[in-house]
């Protein structure tokens, strides 16, 4: 055990966060996200039994968001014609505001299939058991 490391951060995830460099991206995926097929060329970390908000909160305690891009946090845009509600996005914005003074201004949306293409290039994908739909979030790492 280490001091100051959130308990939910496994040794494997801590190693991945340390290995990532500036501009590398990590996806925190909901339970419906095809993590294994999207992550064939990246690292897939299982966080079964956990939701995206608690993982996001733990990661942002350690992980600087990129300040050289306008929107270092990307959410999967709701598909046209899909009447899905996304209250979890408000939760994400509250969490982000605790760790980055730009708060909700760091967050943008990416069209669903573009999000998948970008996820394929991510350094890592964290597979959670999150049940909320459109709950996937991609973070771009900054510098300290």
The reply to whether 66 belongs to the active site is: yes
Q: Which of 22, 68, 82, 90 is catalytic?
A: 22
Active-site choice (24, 57, 66, 100):
66
Task: Name the active-site residue from 50, 99, 105, 116.
Answer: 116
SS (HEC) of the chain: CCCCCCCCCCHHHHHHHHHCCCCCEEEEECCCCCHHHHCCCCEEEEECCCCHHHHHHHHHCCCCECCCCCCCEEEECCCCCCCCCCCHHHHHHHHHHHHCCCHHHHEEEECHHHHHHHHHCCCEEEEECCCCCCCCEEEEECCC
Q: Which residues are the active-site residues?
A: 22, 66, 116
């Amino acid at each position: 055990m280490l001091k100051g490391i959130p308990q939910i951060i496994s040794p494997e995830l801590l190693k991945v966060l340390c290995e990532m460099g500036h501009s590398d991206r990590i996806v925190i995926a909901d339970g419906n996200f095809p993590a294994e097929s999207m992550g064939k060329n990246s690292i897939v970390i299982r966080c079964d039994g956990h939701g995206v908000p608690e993982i996001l909160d733990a990661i942002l305690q350690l992980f600087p968001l990129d300040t050289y891009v306008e929107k270092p946090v990307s959410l999967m845009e709701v598909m046209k014609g899909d009447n899905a509600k996304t209250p979890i996005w408000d939760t994400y914005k509250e969490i982000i505001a605790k760790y980055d003074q730009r708060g909700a201004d760091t967050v943008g949306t990416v069209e669903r299939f573009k999000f998948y293409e970008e996820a394929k290039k991510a350094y890592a994908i964290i597979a959670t058991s999150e049940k909320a739909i459109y709950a996937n979030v991609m973070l771009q790492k900054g510098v300290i």
